[in-house]
Amino acid sequence: MQRALVFAIAAWSGFFVMAIELLSGRILAPNFGNSIYVWGGIITVFMLALSLGYLLGGRFSIHNPTLLRLATLLVASAAATIPVILIGDAALDRIFDLVRDPRYGSLLSVTILFFAPVVLCGMVSPYAVRLLVDEYRLSGHYAGLLYFVSTFGSAAGTLATSFYLVLIFEIQQILVGLSAISVVLGLFAMTVGRKADALDR
């Protein structure tokens, strides 16, 4: 059960990242357009945030790693997305007034709105690897499995969002839905994690 949840969290986190990356393009378009440099800025910031997340997630996994803490990362990434939902448009209008060049305007906007949630998502993968590996010999095997699961989740998130979700829902509704799923999955994993911790003691 614990292992299945580790994989589920990694897969969902991958789904979540790509879904919000695609949506960020739509959120920015009314103020900064959707020319190639807007997408360039989005991808740059998401990659930077993920790389930093990997670094931090790895460090964070050294001391006393638990499923409870992994689940907390997932819930935290959903919480960090709430400002996008609540004040996203107001922030974008303000940045539009302050920064004339849409290249830097979009870069700044993605950083302010999406950097934090994506760093937290990035932390999930290395942390999850640490929870799975119990034998030195199998570390590569588990790392591979985890990459498989989380990148597969990313592919699913990309397809689902760009082909179907935007055809049915409004952007805000999709963001709320994605965050809600993160919270539900996270809270469930937390209860399971707490029980397991209690048994260990």
Residues that bind other proteins (CB under 8 A): 26, 29-36, 38, 96-97, 102, 163, 166-167, 169-172
Across the chain, how many H-helices and E-strands are there?
7, 0
Contact between 49 and 119 under an 8 Å Cβ cutoff? The reply is yes
Cβ proximity to other proteins: between 51 and 173 the closer is 173
Distance between CA atoms of 2 and 10, rounded to whole angstroms? 13
Q: Which is nearer to other proteins, 5 or 42 (CB)?
A: 42
Structure tokens at 170: 């409004």
List CB contacts of 148: < 8 A, sequence separation 6 or more.
Answer: none
- CB 167, min distance to other proteins, A: 5
Nearer to other proteins, 26 or 130 (CB): 26
Query: How far apart are CB 28 and other proteins at their closest, in Å?
Result: 9
Least CB distance to other proteins at residue 163 (A):
7
CB of 166 to other proteins, least distance (A): 5
Token digits for 69?
């803490």
